[in-house]
Chain A
């Protein structure tokens, strides 16, 4: 292990992750999310044997966050509340509420449900965010409807880069159409994210907290914000 660590120190890190390290990082991310976002649904690890007849000796799977709700607001309020919230949040009086509890029962407002999955890409060697959205009755939303739920900057990019930003692809494990945030630039900006901070330049630490950092960027694309405390512990642990 020492030799492996030494080798990793010498070779400049390319911003990628092995599938084993993805599993480690997923555990850390899931724990921190539970700690700092108690009112949100947790991220679950879904173990997956792709082969029905044989148990996989290699642990494969993905992270899953199901049934996040986006409640549509009127045009004026929409700009300031364009982020996804949990159903449970309206019941948490300790948190600052973006809207009245009463809006939950108002029949005029539609509720869009979102499922998010974080899946490792063997080709790009980075995590990839997959998601889908559906009405309360289970009817899937097309992309032009989802676009309305995205933060303004994401909706703008999507309209400009229709084919390469958010693409409609088959879920690698579920064999169903899902939306995917295209990962081809991920390793480069992950590398940049860590490059300037020499105090974080310990590869074991980088790997363990990869997903927390990754999600602090990716989550914003779909309106899922990470609380600052979740990132603060990354910094404080390093110092």
Chain B
């Protein structure tokens, strides 16, 4: 067990949850609920804490609980930590959220039937991750009922030790323990030149489950406080696309490389050419570019990575992607990355 993994599991966000004014039936309005929310958890799981706090002031009617941040309905199936990293470019502590018990925006927000919906969203994501890694979901599908209950309760309770024991039966990266230790020792020896060689030997081939939340800006901002607000989910591109590692990746494969590989639209020179047709097209494009007197290497990249945020941290982009994966994945085995790109002005249509 790595200390980084432990800290990820213990990660929490202080929330200050206000009841929406349209649902306040008492004067003075109730004070906000103060909740410490697990990063790897989900907002609907906080309802058991929030509901009692506001129940005496709610108007009559049937509950349909949802949250918003500055008017933006929050997607409950995205882990709480990811929502915070994405929507609070400048971290806001405590994070001020608004809770609603009425008026569910069902045209834009998936319905949520409490803990069951969250649990099955989690299980289905776990199946998907298993498929990405192993090529099938059999180990998740064949999980015994007691194991399934135990796995989910370990996520609910933030119990990493129980989680690791049950999750090991899924065989998603069987060499994880040895690998993590090896990578850690490599990092300790990082000043030495042999570090690269060691990392090379440890890079595994296969597919890594990644969910990337991409936000593009076309204006410069130096401080996060000056960053524009995400007030619409259409401003965020959700990309559910695995990172493929190949034998050719014998050399050092960094987080920077991984992000660019997921986004060939923005970083065409970095995209790994797998298919013959794509290869032909790529050659054609390169030919055209070389004949253009105005073209240069920089012209190929139409965007610049402003920041990558994972589990509340902006890692140095040169960090080995394998280390990030082994320490920062969420319990459903997806690496959730919030990426902000500055798109060059001349690339705008």
Closest Cβ–Cβ distance, residue B272 to chain A (whole Å): 12
Contact check, A18 vs B275: say whether CB atoms are below 8 A apart: yes
| 0/1 interface trace, chain B 15-28, chain A, CB 8 Å (1 if under) | 00000000000000
Contact check, B265 vs A172: say whether CB atoms are below 8 A apart: no
Contact check, A55 vs B349: say whether CB atoms are below 8 A apart: yes
Interface of A is mostly: loop
Contact check, B132 vs A54: say whether CB atoms are below 8 A apart: no
Q: Which residue of B lies closest to A182 (CB)?
A: B124
Contact check, B239 vs A57: say whether CB atoms are below 8 A apart: no
Contact check, A122 vs B241: say whether CB atoms are below 8 A apart: yes
Contact check, A184 vs B128: say whether CB atoms are below 8 A apart: yes
| 0/1 interface trace, chain A 131-170, chain B, CB 8 Å (1 if under) | 0000000001000000000000000000000011001111
Contact check, B128 vs A57: say whether CB atoms are below 8 A apart: no
Contact check, B75 vs A172: say whether CB atoms are below 8 A apart: no
The answer, among B242, B266, B274, for a CB contact under 8 Å with A54, is: B266
Contact check, A168 vs B214: say whether CB atoms are below 8 A apart: no
Q: Check B157 for interface membership: any CB of A closer than 8 A.
A: no
Chain B hits for A182, CB < 8 A: 124
Contact check, A163 vs B120: say whether CB atoms are below 8 A apart: yes
Contact check, B209 vs A123: say whether CB atoms are below 8 A apart: yes
The answer, among B109, B111, B209, B216, for a CB contact under 8 Å with A51, is: B216
Contact check, A53 vs B216: say whether CB atoms are below 8 A apart: yes
Contact check, B131 vs A124: say whether CB atoms are below 8 A apart: yes
**Known contacts A57-B265, A170-B110, A184-B137, A124 near B128 by CB under 8 Å:** yes
Q: CA separation between A4 and B276, bound complex, in Å?
A: 7
Q: Check A1 for interface membership: any CB of B closer than 8 A.
A: yes
Interface of B is mostly: mixed
Within 8 A of B (CB), among A40-66: 49-58
Contact check, B242 vs A122: say whether CB atoms are below 8 A apart: yes
Number of interface residues of A (CB under 8 A): 33
Q: Check B248 for interface membership: any CB of A closer than 8 A.
A: no
Q: CA separation between A58 and B277, bound complex, in Å?
A: 12
Most chain B CB inside 10 Å of its own CB: which residue of A51, A54, A56, A182: A54
Contact check, B240 vs A175: say whether CB atoms are below 8 A apart: no
Chain B hits for A56, CB < 8 A: 265
Given contacts A51-B265, A53-B218, A177-B106, 10 further A-B contacts (CB under 8 A): A4-B276, A50-B237, A54-B265, A55-B349, A57-B268, A58-B264, A123-B240, A169-B110, A170-B75, A184-B137
Of the A-B pairs whose beta carbons lie under 8 Å apart in the complex, a sample of 28, sorted by A's number, is A4-B276, A20-B275, A20-B277, A20-B278, A51-B265, A53-B218, A53-B343, A54-B265, A54-B303, A54-B343, A54-B347, A54-B349, A122-B241, A123-B240, A123-B241, A124-B128, A140-B107, A163-B124, A167-B124, A168-B111, A172-B240, A175-B108, A175-B233, A176-B108, A177-B110, A182-B124, A184-B128, A184-B141
> Which residue numbers of A lie inside 8 Å of B, CB to CB?
1, 4, 14, 18, 20, 49-58, 121-124, 140, 163-164, 167-170, 172, 175-177, 182, 184, 188
